[in-house]
């Protein structure tokens, strides 16, 4: 993997600015020094919030920004009501095209000055007034032409902020997708799985035995928690990922992140809990994630396709769930996006969607038109195709991507 741009090059020194509306103040921080000056107030907002994502922690945010393999700068907004911090909005600035997709085909738009809010990067103390102020401030950033586009990453549809921004004529809402979680019974894997039939639980044990028998009982779950283990894990993760269909679809996303640095950051904060399923002395599947305040935030998983018939992904997931129960975790957050295993093992979900809010310039308007067209085409195609046909099309795309990856590997050998 390539190395990340040094932090000194990523964070340009810019003065923070403060605007006032009544008793509310909005403090804009655009460099590391100004972020450090508000860090205590930022953390106070997180402490008063309910279930803030670990990526919203100040040090985690800066570490993650450093691991991104492209030019980006921090942009953080602290909302204060008098002397009390009420909300924080966490994002990064970048110049990039908007990714519009038809199926798995990507359409590039003009490059825009974009404020990209991180996932979980809108944190409030639960008061609706704060969300109203956030919506007004984000729109003002476009009116001031400081940005040409604001991207909100996966907001709960029930949030007041989503309702306010979605009503803006300049916004384009992406596909609505469920966000699944699995509630665990701490220290009891058996109770966690008791909601499933005895036949299903027996089948899971049979899959584990089948995998072990295939590899002459040389199967183990390797748990990675330290920075010293992060580099070898990152290499194993990359080796597995490069052989999957995902490599043909999301290669750019993987290459844009220095995963070793990202994993080391999680380890240094005492939250890394990554897993390798070892079989015959070789890694055949992985799961990355962070354990934060009793919640496991799953970040990515894959397995070697040549072992697909042995269901290594399922075996890995069950062993991971058992380990998390042993650790006293009470929930697994699978993140956004739908998948069969999430529907099968998830215990609750909510709907999320992302928004692009565009400015008035011609580049922004061209991007908005392309964005709206791609969303409309996707919605129409899904409605006409129906659920089962959509799934067949998706499987076809995945098979095509997997074949492309296999062909590329054969040609390089």
CATH number of the domain bearing residue 356: 3.40.630
Output 56 or 245, whichever has higher pLDDT: 56
CATH number of the domain bearing residue 320: 3.40.630.30
Residue 148 lies in a domain: yes
Statement to judge: residues 13 and 153 lie in one domain:
yes
Residue 284 lies in a domain: yes
Statement to judge: residues 144 and 59 lie in one domain:
yes
E strand or H helix at 159: none
Statement to judge: residues 30 and 142 lie in one domain:
yes
Statement to judge: residues 172 and 192 lie in one domain:
no
Statement to judge: residues 356 and 287 lie in one domain:
no
Are the CB atoms for 292 and 54 separated by under 8 Å?
Answer: yes
Statement to judge: residues 211 and 320 lie in one domain:
yes
Statement to judge: residues 364 and 245 lie in one domain:
no
Residue 404 lies in a domain: no
pLDDT band for position 125 (50/70/90)?
confident
> Hey, is 174 helix, strand or coil?
coil
Q: Concatenated DSSP letters for 44-107?
A: HHHHHSSS--GGGSHHHHHHHHHHBSS--EEEEEEEEETTEEEEEEEEEEEEE---EEETTEEE
Residue 21 lies in a domain: yes
Q: Which residue segment(s) compose the domain that 222 sits in?
A: 185-329
Statement to judge: residues 168 and 191 lie in one domain:
no
Statement to judge: residues 262 and 361 lie in one domain:
no
Tokens 């655009």 label which residue?
30
Statement to judge: residues 194 and 112 lie in one domain:
no
Looking at residue 260, what is its pLDDT?
Answer: 85
CA distance 246 to 222: 23
Considering only 226-230, 258-262, 345-349, 409-413, which range has the smallest mean pLDDT? 409-413
pLDDT tens digits for 185-203? 999 999 999 999 999 999 9
**Over 80: is that where the pLDDT of 381 sits?**
no
Residue 1 lies in a domain: no
Looking at residue 20, what is its pLDDT?
Answer: 46
Statement to judge: residues 256 and 282 lie in one domain:
yes
Total structural domains in the chain?
2
Residue 29 lies in a domain: yes
Residue 199 lies in a domain: yes
Statement to judge: residues 57 and 170 lie in one domain:
yes
Residue 401 lies in a domain: no
């Amino acid at each position: 993997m390539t190395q990340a741009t040094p932090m000194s090059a990523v964070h340009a020194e810019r003065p923070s600015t403060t605007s006032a509306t009544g008793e509310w103040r909005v403090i804009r921080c655009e460099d590391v020094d100004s972020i450090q000056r508000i860090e205590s107030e930022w953390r106070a907002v997180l402490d008063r919030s309910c279930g803030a994502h670990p990526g919203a922690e100040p040090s985690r945010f800066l570490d993650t920004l450093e691991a991104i393999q492209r030019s980006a700068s921090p942009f953080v907004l602290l909302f204060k009501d008098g002397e009390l911090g009420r909300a924080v909005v966490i994002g990064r600035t970048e110049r990039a095209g908007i990714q519009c997709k038809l199926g798995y085909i990507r359409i590039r738009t003009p490059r825009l000055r974009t404020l990209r809010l991180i996932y979980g990067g809108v944190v409030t103390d639960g008061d609706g007034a704060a969300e109203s102020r956030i919506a007004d401030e984000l729109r003002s950033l476009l009116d001031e032409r400081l940005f040409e586009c604001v991207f909100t990453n996966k907001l709960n549809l029930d949030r007041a902020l989503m309702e306010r921004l979605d009503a803006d004529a300049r916004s384009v809402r992406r596909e609505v997708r469920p966000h699944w979680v699995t509630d665990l019974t701490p220290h009891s894997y058996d109770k966690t799985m008791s909601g499933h039939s005895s036949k299903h639980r027996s089948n899971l044990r049979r899959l584990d035995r089948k995998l072990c028998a295939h590899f002459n009982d040389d199967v183990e779950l390797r748990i990675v928690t330290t920075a010293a283990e992060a580099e070898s894990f990152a290499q194993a993760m990359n080796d597995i990922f490069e052989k999957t269909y995902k490599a043909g679809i999301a290669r750019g996303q993987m290459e844009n992140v220095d995963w070793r640095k990202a994993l080391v950051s999680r380890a240094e904060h005492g939250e890394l809990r990554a897993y390798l399923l070892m079989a015959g002395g070789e890694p055949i599947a992985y799961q990355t994630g962070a354990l934060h305040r009793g919640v496991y935030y799953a970040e990515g998983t894959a397995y070697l396709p040549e072992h697909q018939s042995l269901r290594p992904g399922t075996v890995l997931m069950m062993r991971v769930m058992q380990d998390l129960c042993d650790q006293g975790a009470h929930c697994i957050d699978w993140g956004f996006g739908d998948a069969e295993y999430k529907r099968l093992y998830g215990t609750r979900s909510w709907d999320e969607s992302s928004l692009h809010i565009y400015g008035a310039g011609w580049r922004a308007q061209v991007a908005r038109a392309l964005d709206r067209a791609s969303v409309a085409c996707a919605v129409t195609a899904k409605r006409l195709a129906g659920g089962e046909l959509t799934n067949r099309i998706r499987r076809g795309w995945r098979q095509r991507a997997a074949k492309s990856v296999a062909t590329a590997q054969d040609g390089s050998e």
